[in-house]
Structure 1
């Protein structure tokens, strides 16, 4: 009999946040908000204790720590990310992952610096209960990358668990984040050398179509409205509003029509932020889904 699912309590957010930060008490509130968000995701996905989880695009391990808490001492999380060890700020992938490994849930996590499809090919005999893609799909190089990943996972896991930004804004203050994501993705589409974190802007509808083509059936889905403590919308709008955005346009875009489109996209973000009367942009809605 499969183990019963026990939801993680919101109070677990502070504990798992401490697993995933190194020594920055001033960042604790920010990390707690990130952990609270991921607890919402894990509870929707209904991951029971004792599960074996493959996490695609684990990054610095914010979701990894929550997954490790959910699976308990008898569970296992295989966390895969192709990013270089020195990627990330204020702490790199290597620093953050080492911190989690040294903590209370470290024994439940195995880190793998690899392209996910290559990792699957090298471990052809491995099977997992769940594959998790939490806020990683926009990092993929192309829609074809997602399609290849979804096809490679079919038959290797019992369920596919996905969370990505929904490109909708239930809260008016999240509209700038939606516009910023589109602006950033548009620039990266015309500058393939960019290392920004929005490389392939895929909507929930596009992800569902790719999953269906890969043989996955949608079990359930919902939209989560992030709390004010989740600052991703503020960070993303700030990068588009900055001078660096237009400097990147000037350096890499040589088509006047594309340049005008990108400049106007940035102006739309600035205008939407001005409508907030000095308040920070909220983070846009998040789409959460489970496929079998």
Structure 2
């Protein structure tokens, strides 16, 4: 059995689940780029439904442990809620090497981590969910107090190929609309470019060891974010009370253009490792 088949089986998911196979393969690639080792004790911030949590648990082996936290409630998420995803993962062989806590705000609930120390802290595709630059900066500083290494992965918002344009436009539309009328179900609240991420990390006292760009062109996220933008952005524009009329018109024009675009490929992913 190959790594990905073994991981999917441990997640109680059929190996024929092509969407999950692609998502999990991407996360295994990230873990290898970060050089995650067996026996590590890891804190994952923004664990969501546990795709990265499970990949990390697979990599750390039976002697390691992964603690995933997320500020969303266990009832958030569809078609599978965060709570249901946790129950599924804990019903398999990863039960002894991972845990997931929800309604956990790192800045607010830091006292729960007092005395804890982690070999690595991971933020994988979770920065864009954050509400501000300042929030990510504060989280990076907190991580410095309790972690030996910091591993980050996030979309690079600039399309390197024409096929990635729809994903890029969908992300920017959601982020701008969210500045005026945020929706809880929106995936994108703040966009960070690679240089900003590296700057935040360094300012928090970390030293960037390695960084790079990962292309995972089979990922379905570009299509999903196009759908999200076309559904959510008109609602946010309608709700926005302080949005200038000129910006409102430009955003609506952007949505019209996005609807015409095929979401052929996702954006590339920027990753870094720091210590």
The corresponding residue for 2:236 is: 248
In structure 1, distance between residues paired with 2:189 and 2:108: 20
Q: Does 1:191 align with 2:181?
A: yes
What TM-score results when the alignment is normalised by the length of structure 2?
A: 0.93
Q: What is the SS of the residue equivalent to 2:247?
A: helix
Q: Does 1:137 align with 2:127?
A: yes
Q: What displacement does 1:201 show?
A: 1.0
Q: What is the SS of the residue equivalent to 1:284?
A: coil
Structure 2 segments unaligned to the other structure (5+ residues):
none
The corresponding residue for 2:166 is: 176
What is the 5 A alignment of 1:219-238?
Answer: 219-228=209-218, 230-238=219-227
Write out per-residue CA displacement over residues 186-225 of structure 1, whole angstroms, 9 at most, x where no aligned residue: 1111113543110111111111111111111111111011
Q: Does 1:34 align with 2:17?
A: no
Q: Which moved more, 1:147-156 or 1:45-54?
A: 147-156
In structure 2, distance between residues paired with 1:52 and 1:92: 26
Write out per-residue CA displacement over residues 33-88 of structure 1, whole angstroms, 9 at most, x where no aligned residue: 00000011000000110000000000000000100000000001111111111111
The corresponding residue for 2:144 is: 154
Q: Which moved more, 1:92-101 or 1:199-208?
A: 199-208
Structure 1 segments unaligned to the other structure (5+ residues):
1-8
Q: Does 1:282 align with 2:265?
A: yes
In structure 1, distance between residues paired with 2:136 and 2:211: 19
Q: Which moved more, 1:85-94 or 1:166-175?
A: 166-175
In structure 1, distance between residues paired with 2:175 and 2:18: 29
Q: What displacement does 1:121 show?
A: 2.6
What TM-score results when the alignment is normalised by the length of structure 1?
A: 0.87
The corresponding residue for 1:65 is: 54
Count of aligned positions = 273
Q: Alpha carbon RMSD of aligned pairs, Å?
A: 2.0
The corresponding residue for 2:115 is: 125
Contact 2:137 / 2:204 at 8 angstroms: preserved in 1?
A: yes
